[in-house]
Chain A
Amino acid sequence: MQQGFELDSLTVIPGTLFAGLSRDRFYDYDVENISKISGVKAATQVMQIGNVTLYNSRNNKTVKAFVATAVNFTDFVEMFSDRFVFENDVHPTEYENDTIVIGHKVNYPTEDDIIPFAVANDTIILTLGVFNQTHFPPYYELNYSFTVGGTLQKKGTPGITNFDYWIFLPLETVRDIYDTLESDLIFVEVSDSEESERVAEEIEGLFPPYKVTILVPLTFIKQVDRILTIVQIFLMSVASISLLVAGIGIMNIMTVSVVERTREIGILKAIGAKSSTVLAMFLTEAMLIGVIGGLIGISTGYGLSYALAYMLSSFMQPQHQGTAFQTPETQKMTITPVFSPEWTALAIIFAIIVCIIFGLYPARKAAKLDPIEALRYE
């Protein structure tokens, strides 16, 4: 799956939004416990380091990466086989302690870049920021040498993490650098996406209350779906009311028209028009109102939906820029209205049917007029 959500993938984050993001971390045994839950296919932990700088000694180039992610390569390649795809099929035969994998956007920072920042087997000097309170100054930078194992293909933004902006380092090496056994995130793959909510609940049960947040794509999709359903019901009820009002309006106009043309109807009947002819005449008129009204409605709807889509798109800006979950590519979300010929035709047919239904009463009224009385009408 290259686009949309990876429904079978859960992300476990320490802390909750309500309790504030705590400094809690995960450990190896957390991953082990999660792996034991039934329905979990695989689980892997990652550690994330903020802005890092990469220097390639071969071509003397420097780039910055938003997120350096320390991973267990073996697990990672298996879990994200769709997204963790190497450029030109050049991938490491073995992941060493100094292997680095570079995301597409880090390797080609701008659209114009044709020559990559690095290729496999290049030596990269990585500058990492370290924060240590026992040290003075508490923040300092360290340089480490890594060998490029491969570079990734461009994959866009499936779900909430965009590998294009990431670089990947071996978890054990980074743990050694920081002298820690902790990790920041756990990625979980479930065997059946339908079970993802149950699995998420069980994972939550492993931790004390309010210690973890689990991002479940299925739940997110269900919530969006629920909101859309509510919006749809609301729009339907507004539409039904407008339809009723419009229908009564049509009935009113046509009744007035019948009264105004009483004499004409009398003349037509006197010269031999049957009641059914008069009925057909007025129903045709109602149908014409439907066709013209339908066409006006469709063109108005066309214009309005583009205006609305434009407005909504400009509202949908991300709140947290530059974090692990928001990357420059997710910043703009565009909504494009979809017009299908079937629905357009259906709308016109519906408009015609409404006009005929509400035109029936005045048309029958006209058809039933007594010719002599109609002729006397002033």
Chain B
Amino acid sequence: MTAILGVRKVRKSYRMGKVIIPALRGVSFDLEESEFLAIFGPSGSGKSTLLHLMGGLDRPDEGEILIDGSNILELDDDRLAELRLTRIGFVFQFFNLLPKLTALRNVELPLTIAGISEKETLQKSREILKLVGLEERINHKPSELSGGEQQRVAIARALINNPKIVLADEPTGNLDTKTGWEIVQLMRKLNEKKDQTFIVVTHDPNIAEAADRIIHLKDGVIEGIKETPRRKKQ
């Protein structure tokens, strides 16, 4: 399998007042196409920082992040935005839907930004909402949806542009165990069905176990990489 994403000796630290806090202290790994990867670790281990760097939302202090072999850090802000629009999908812990828009409108947003025609946008959005099991709720606003349903809308929004990589930051962190599990199963299903690469950041070992591979992060360094039985089956 080919590497779709490469992380090379990435370092990142934050300044809080006069104190510099290292979040990542030299992280390297490769990600294969259509892989389902979990980044697992306690809070403060730097997993969200790593996810933001991989998604082109932030830039590292040192190191390289390669997508399809090219370093995304050489791209300017507009190119990075374009990359996020076309190649990467984000799913957040707190869903981050626009409260005033309906589920359908929220899902349509990336296509609208990309300038896709209204007809195509509507058709694609309806399709993807059906795929995540929300065809009955498309005209509801986020406040009228349950947490699990909101996260399904967020996943639909992340997938609408057919990105190669989907990054999920604690997607189950704000859901009960049962709903959380359903969400992971949905992502797993989409990963297998659409051959998209998923990276899920979590501190829940049960969720991590659903992945092909688990990267264990602690204090900004990789403590270990574990292949799950799922992976071994392949």
Contact = CB atoms under 8 A, between A and B. Distances in A.
Interface residues of A, number: 17
Given A372-B52, A372-B57, A267 B114 contact: no
Contacts of A263: 96
Contacts, number: 52
A89 B78 CA distance: 84
A263 B57 CA distance: 14
Nearest to A267: B96
Contacts of B109: 268, 271
A375 B84 contact: no
B78 A275 contact: yes
B114 A272 contact: yes
Most buried by B among A268, A271, A273: A271
Interface in B73-93: 77-78, 81-86, 90, 92
A105 B83 CA distance: 87
Contacts of A269: 81
A274 B85 CA distance: 9
Given A263-B96, A372-B52, A274 B90 contact: no
A274 B57 contact: no
Contacts of B161: 272
Most buried by B among A264, A267, A372, A375: A267
Interface string A36-67: 00000000000000000000000000000000
Contact of B77 (A266, A271, A275): A275
Interface of chain A: mostly helix, strand, loop or mixed: helix
Given A270-B90, A275-B77, A371 B57 contact: yes
Given A263-B96, A267-B96, A372-B58, A272 B81 contact: yes
Nearest to A271: B110
B113 interface: yes
Contacts of A314: none
A329 B110 CA distance: 72
A371 B78 CA distance: 13
Contacts of B57: 270, 371-372
A86 B223 CA distance: 115
Contacts of B113: 268, 271-273, 277
A276 interface: yes
Contact of B90 (A264, A271, A275, A277): A271
Interface string A249-268: 00000000000000110111
Contacts of B92: 270, 375
B98 interface: yes
B106 to A, nearest CB: 9
A274 B58 contact: no
B195 to A, nearest CB: 21
B157 interface: yes
Interface in B181-202: none
A269 B78 CA distance: 10
Given A372-B57, A372-B58, A375-B92, A274 B110 contact: no
A273 B82 CA distance: 8
A274 B82 contact: yes
12 contacts: A267-B98, A270-B57, A270-B84, A271-B85, A271-B110, A272-B85, A273-B81, A273-B113, A275-B78, A275-B81, A372-B52, A375-B96
Interface of B: 52, 55, 57-58, 77-78, 81-86, 90, 92, 96-98, 109-110, 113-114, 157-158, 161
The 9 closest A-B pairs by CB, nearest first: A272-B85, A272-B84, A274-B81, A267-B96, A271-B110, A274-B78, A273-B113, A371-B57, A270-B90
